[in-house]
Amino acid sequence: MVERESRLVFEEPFLFFYIHNKTVVKLQDASGLDEEATRSLKVLLAWMETNFREDWDEADALFARGKVNSKHYSKLFRPSELAVSQNHNNQTDMFTAFKFGYSPIYTEMVPCTYEFDGTLTWLPRVIPSFNENCSRTGIVTEGIYGGRSSLESGGGLVNISDLDLYPIRFAEEELERKLIARGHKFWRLRKKCLVCHGEVDGGDRYQAERRYMIDYAMYKRLHRATEATKLRFYVSADEYDETSSAFFACLPPTILGFSFAKKSWEHLSVDRITDVTWNKTAFDQLVAPDETKELIQAMVTVHGDRSNAAQDIISGKGQGLLILLHGGPGTGKTLTAESIAEVQERPLYRVTCGDIGIEPKEVEQYLGDVLEIGKAWGCVVLLDEADVFLEERSFTDQKRNAVISSTPPHPNFDIQHTNPTVFLRVLEYYDGILILTTNRVGSFDEAFKSRIQLALAYPRLNEEDRLKIWQNFIQMLPRSGQRVDMEDLKMNLNKLALVEINGRQIRNAVTMARHLAKFRHEMLRYKHMQDALRSVQRFNKYLSDVKGLSDDEWAKADKLRLGD
């Protein structure tokens, strides 16, 4: 449509007349039309019948069968109606709803959908239209056109529902309802919240692998560089039409969340998001003395009550709770941190030295980001295997000293006059819960002693400890959905506990046994545990033969920790 000398001039493919032809016909009976208007209308109707009726009837017949070809593709869509785009599957979360702007006289239509990055925006996309010679005249963008059935110029018939973009009236009846429900869910989730995402796995401990934090403000603070610019139109808050079904249907199918397991931001399917379920019995599964459990719970619970917080002389300083857990591998240190997070209903943010790096600037930046996130989200921060930060400084390892020191190493480096450590400087004003684990407490740097409020030793597991750990793992097996002979396993628990391995090795043995049983198409029994344990024992013996000592004996000889 163009305007020439104050007149509206319609141009091909005259979609206005196809969409509104019934309304135009009814105008014949409308009152108030003068003689010239009535005569002009009759000429228009005759022209429409002569030139387009056959074409329009053909299109209507195809649409009634759920079919379309390139000739009639542009006739599918209506002003202000919803259309849906899908990927190459039929999952509801793969559908995106679009709404066409109201433009009653047009040759090309621009559908828009919402995007959200903390601010709601309309993102327009252009779909193709076809002229009378079936040549494509529109613009194809971002996979809207085509799909599982390619709709090429002059091609044959395809199912409308196989197109990447088609009107929602051709979709299953339930789809619009599902899209609206998904939109309401998205709208609830758009502000900071902790969620679970993905399928429930019976063996998934505490859902930890599936937990994500949705927080667009934090994402923007950590990613200041702008992304590639798209054509978009910002929607002000007063333009949100929260009474409109179309508003909710057009909200995005995914939302950005931070994975605590992968330590990265990911797009989460809104349909697969669920509430977090906290494991309030986590401490019951922890193999540790009751007085130790009580002390831990007392420290973290009272710390969470800010009314009881003692004020440092310097405002804001020294309000964090720093806990050190030390002992051999597989003695329950990491499980303790997980249990603290569960009973406190806080997300656990676990990082290792491998995540952080070794360059001083990298360390300071990464730790700063971690603790900023930990404070903003109320996390229990676990710095697992923190030996490189806790070890005593030396004259020989200058790079590690640079990590510990707040300034680069000097040629005349003097360990007695080292500035405050990078690690300690970053921690100085942190007021959350930070847990450090190490299996090399004997190399502990003196500078950390006064900063640790609670230090707990985790001795080597005895037979009673191992029995409890085996019981915990075996009790969880039925939740995995695997066929398990629980009676056989329970009858042999004492035999399993006799094998001197740590808690992590017990978990690995259970995993191996499950895989063996599945591979053999057998019910999981004690014999599968035996086979797995033999593999663990062979490896332990090999290492002991190579070193001449067990791991605990070696650690004691190196003055890293007590052997028993």
Q: Do 523 and 450 share a structural domain?
A: no
- At position 457, the amino acid (one-letter code) is A
Q: Do 399 and 302 share a structural domain?
A: yes
Is 433 within the bounds of a domain? yes
Q: Do 447 and 310 share a structural domain?
A: yes
Is 261 within the bounds of a domain? yes
The candidate with the shortest Cα–Cα distance to 509, out of 491, 527, 490, 487, is 527
Q: Rounded to whole angstroms, how far apart are CA atoms 384 and 351?
A: 6
- For position 275, what pLDDT does the model report? 94
Is 233 within the bounds of a domain? no
pLDDT in tens, 60-76: 999 999 999 988 888 88
Is residue 294 classed exposed, middle or buried when 0-12, 13-18 and 19+ CB atoms within 10 A define those classes?
exposed
Between 279 and 6, whose confidence is greater? 279
The residue with tokens 């039309």 is 33
What one-character-per-residue DSSP string does 207-238 give?
Answer: GGGGEEEE-HHHHHHH--SPPPP---EE--GG
Is the pLDDT score of 257 beyond 90?
A: yes
Between 206 and 280, whose confidence is greater? 280
- Provide the pLDDT confidence category of residue 109 given band limits of 50, 70 and 90: low
Can you give the pTM of this predicted structure?
A: 0.78
- At position 291, the amino acid (one-letter code) is E
- Provide the pLDDT confidence category of residue 267 given band limits of 50, 70 and 90: very high
Q: Do 357 and 287 share a structural domain?
A: yes
pLDDT in tens, 301-331: 888 775 455 554 445 555 788 899 988 888 8
The candidate with the shortest Cα–Cα distance to 337, out of 346, 470, 329, 448, is 346
Is residue 556 classed exposed, middle or buried when 0-12, 13-18 and 19+ CB atoms within 10 A define those classes?
middle
H/E stretch holding 457: strand 454-458
- For position 405, what pLDDT does the model report? 44
Q: Do 485 and 423 share a structural domain?
A: no
**For residue 74, how many C-alpha atoms fall within 13 Å in the half-sphere facing its CB?**
29
Q: Rounded to whole angstroms, how far apart are CA atoms 48 and 18?
A: 9
Is the pLDDT score of 190 beyond 50?
A: yes
Q: Do 551 and 434 share a structural domain?
A: no
The distance from CA 242 to its chain's CA centroid, rounded to whole angstroms, is 26
DSSP three-state, residue 36? helix
First to last CA, the chain: 87
DSSP three-state, residue 93? helix
467-476: list long-range contacts, CB under 8 Å, 24+ apart.
467/493, 467/494, 467/496, 467/497, 468/287, 469/287, 469/503, 469/506, 470/496, 470/497, 470/506, 472/285, 472/287, 473/506, 473/507, 473/510, 474/510, 476/202, 476/203
Spell out the residues 6+ positions from residue 475 whose beta carbon is closer than 8 angstroms to its own: none
Average pLDDT of span 214-221: 92
Residue that is last in its domain, among 458, 481, 498: 458
Is the pLDDT score of 349 beyond 70?
A: yes
The residue with tokens 């002229």 is 131
- For position 340, what pLDDT does the model report? 92
Residue 494, by phi and psi: left (phi above 0), alpha (psi -120 to 50) or beta?
A: alpha
- For position 119, what pLDDT does the model report? 80
Q: Do 420 and 325 share a structural domain?
A: yes
Q: Within 10 A of 215 (CB to CB), how many other CB atoms are there?
A: 22
CATH number of the domain bearing residue 364 = 3.40.50.300
Q: What is the mean pLDDT of the chain?
A: 77
Q: Do 368 and 488 share a structural domain?
A: no
Is the pLDDT score of 355 beyond 60?
A: yes
Is the pLDDT score of 238 beyond 80?
A: no
- Provide the pLDDT confidence category of residue 548 given band limits of 50, 70 and 90: low
H/E stretch holding 350: strand 348-352
- For position 137, what pLDDT does the model report? 34
Alpha helices, H only, 76-164: none
Q: Do 155 and 14 share a structural domain?
A: no
- Per the CB < 8 A criterion, the answer to whether 423 and 367 are in contact is yes
Average pLDDT of span 252-278: 92
Average pLDDT of span 245-261: 91
Domain count, the chain: 5
Q: Do 12 and 124 share a structural domain?
A: no
Q: Residue 270: give the domain boundaries.
A: 182-228+253-274
Average pLDDT of span 113-118: 81
Is 9 within the bounds of a domain? yes
Is 57 within the bounds of a domain? yes
- For position 60, what pLDDT does the model report? 93
The candidate with the shortest Cα–Cα distance to 434, out of 390, 382, 385, is 382
Q: What angle do CA 304, 307, 310 make, to 5 degrees?
A: 90
- For position 154, what pLDDT does the model report? 56
Between 358 and 204, whose confidence is greater? 358
- Per the CB < 8 A criterion, the answer to whether 249 and 183 are in contact is yes
Is the pLDDT score of 82 beyond 70?
A: yes
The residue with tokens 């019951």 is 284
Is the pLDDT score of 126 beyond 70?
A: no
Is the pLDDT score of 561 beyond 80?
A: no
Q: Rounded to whole angstroms, how far apart are CA atoms 10 and 6?
A: 13
DSSP, res 435: E
- For position 434, what pLDDT does the model report? 92
DSSP, res 1: -
pLDDT in tens, 493-525: 999 999 999 999 999 999 999 999 999 999 999
pLDDT in tens, 17-35: 888 888 888 887 776 778 8
Residue that is last in its domain, among 458, 492, 519: 458
Is the pLDDT score of 269 beyond 60?
A: yes
- For position 155, what pLDDT does the model report? 61
What SS3 string covers 56-83?
HHHHHHHHHCCEECCCCHHHHCCCCCEE
Is 242 within the bounds of a domain? no
Percentage of residues in the chain with pLDDT exceeding 90?
Answer: 32
- For position 338, what pLDDT does the model report? 92
Q: Do 446 and 488 share a structural domain?
A: no
Is the pLDDT score of 91 beyond 80?
A: no
Residue that is last in its domain, among 458, 477, 508: 458
Between 425 and 287, whose confidence is greater? 287
Is the pLDDT score of 229 beyond 60?
A: no
Relative to beta strand 433-438, strand 321-327 is parallel
- Provide the pLDDT confidence category of residue 422 given band limits of 50, 70 and 90: low
The distance from CA 376 to its chain's CA centroid, rounded to whole angstroms, is 18
- At position 528, the amino acid (one-letter code) is H
Q: Do 329 and 198 share a structural domain?
A: no
Is 236 within the bounds of a domain? no
- Provide the pLDDT confidence category of residue 467 given band limits of 50, 70 and 90: very high
pLDDT in tens, 371-382: 889 999 999 999
Q: Rounded to whole angstroms, how far apart are CA atoms 72 and 67?
A: 10
- For position 403, what pLDDT does the model report? 47
- At position 328, the amino acid (one-letter code) is G
The residue with tokens 């509801």 is 92
DSSP-based helix, strand, coil % in the chain, nearest 5: 45, 15, 35
Highest mean pLDDT among 261-270, 408-417, 485-494: 485-494
Between 201 and 21, whose confidence is greater? 21
pLDDT in tens, 148-160: 345 655 568 889 9
Is the pLDDT score of 135 beyond 70?
A: no
Is 127 within the bounds of a domain? yes
- For position 367, what pLDDT does the model report? 85
- Provide the pLDDT confidence category of residue 85 given band limits of 50, 70 and 90: confident
- Per the CB < 8 A criterion, the answer to whether 441 and 326 are in contact is yes
Is the pLDDT score of 92 beyond 70?
A: no
Average pLDDT of span 412-431: 55
